[in-house]
Amino acid sequence: VRDISYNKHSAPPNNDIITRVDCDCEHVPLCSVNDVQLRFLVPDDLTEVRTLCQEWFPIDYPLSWYEDITSSTRFFALAAVYNLAIIGLIVAEIKPYRNVNKEVIANVSESDSEYYIRLCGFPMQDKGILPDSMGRNAEVGYILSLGVHRAHRRNGIGSLLLDALMNHLTTLERHAVKAIFLHTLTTNQAAIFFYEKRRFTLHSFLPYYYNIRGKGKDGFTYVTYINGGHPPWTLLYPLQKCIYFFAIYHIKHHASKLRHTGGLCVWMASCVQHMVRWFYHKLLTRFNVIE
């Protein structure tokens, strides 16, 4: 990247919403990634950023969110600019890990204009990201949004933005940040592939975490560790992960098979999915995968 421009409105991070990486398999050549500049958002970007986010994400963010990310120093809100236009965006924040432990599940509704004001924070499942001993003084980075313009996807812009965040959080001043995590829809395969390629690992399954257009959508939490951070170590950890992935596979596999048989089976698939989800939630709780 050529440079990162700082100004009085731009600075490092801080707050929570829905996270989704928006990229697909379409490839439109870019003349050179070296021609892309990174800079922090400023208030004059509000209209352009709002238009882009409405195209990229399934959530209709309230105006207050755009005002915050383009002017508040609470956020690490970085834009990738090409030919004077914003073609990519990453928004993240830093929070004390102890705050994550206290917060409750955030079921966001697209039609709820008040959700940004009343949103508590992260699902309780996220409290197992770090060991309790490390979590007393540790901080975590949370990626709220990461998106790239359709005309410039698969050119490394998403990686460029993520690298900038990683570089920012691995400085000596940010050594207290031990993990970076995010939430994404379970159906967002492009985002899942992108983050797994960047060494993020699946941490937890969030049933009905999202409420999009009146329908409950499942989510995943993905996490990567930095600055000496690591997940909680227990003797049952490998078994927990095996049970967890087994659960996710069966929830999706059986429900999708029934859905494709059509008609009455759509309703039956929904019932089965509820039952399987309930069963595995109890199973995972038993093995302390979900507390």
Specify the CATH number for the domain of residue 56: 3.40.630.30
Q: Characterize 19-58 residue by residue with b for buried, 16 or more Cβ atoms within 10 angstroms of its Cβ, and e for exposed.
A: bbbbbeeeeeebeebeebebbbbbeebbeebbebbeebbe
Over residues 189-203, mean pLDDT: 94
Over residues 10-36, mean pLDDT: 49
Q: Is the model's pLDDT at 113 over the cut of 60? A: no
Categorize the per-residue pLDDT at 137 as very low, low, confident or very high, splitting at 50, 70 and 90: confident
Per the structure, the complete domain to which residue 72 belongs is given by 33-108+116-254
Judge if pTM exceeds 0.75.
Answer: no
Q: Does residue 263 lie within any of the structural domains? A: no
Of residues 61, 82, 97, 142, which has the active-site annotation? 142
How many structural domains are present in the chain? 1
Categorize the per-residue pLDDT at 250 as very low, low, confident or very high, splitting at 50, 70 and 90: low
Q: Does residue 27 lie within any of the structural domains? A: no
Q: Which tokens hold the place of 258?
A: 């029934």
The rounded distance, in Å, linking the Cα atoms of 77 and 54 is 17
Of residues 149, 152, 168, 183, which has the active-site annotation? 183
Q: Does residue 214 lie within any of the structural domains? A: yes
Q: Does residue 97 lie within any of the structural domains? A: yes
Q: Does residue 22 lie within any of the structural domains? A: no
Residue 260 among the catalytic residues:
no
Residue 249 among the catalytic residues:
no
Q: Does residue 216 lie within any of the structural domains? A: yes
Over residues 58-67, mean pLDDT: 89
The rounded distance, in Å, linking the Cα atoms of 9 and 73 is 7
More confident residue, 211 or 130: 130
Categorize the per-residue pLDDT at 6 as very low, low, confident or very high, splitting at 50, 70 and 90: very low
> What are the Cα distances from residue 253, in Å, to 210, 213, 262, 287?
20, 24, 16, 22
Q: Does residue 185 lie within any of the structural domains? A: yes
For 268-289, the pLDDT digits (tens) are 666 566 566 556 555 555 544 4
The rounded distance, in Å, linking the Cα atoms of 103 and 219 is 17
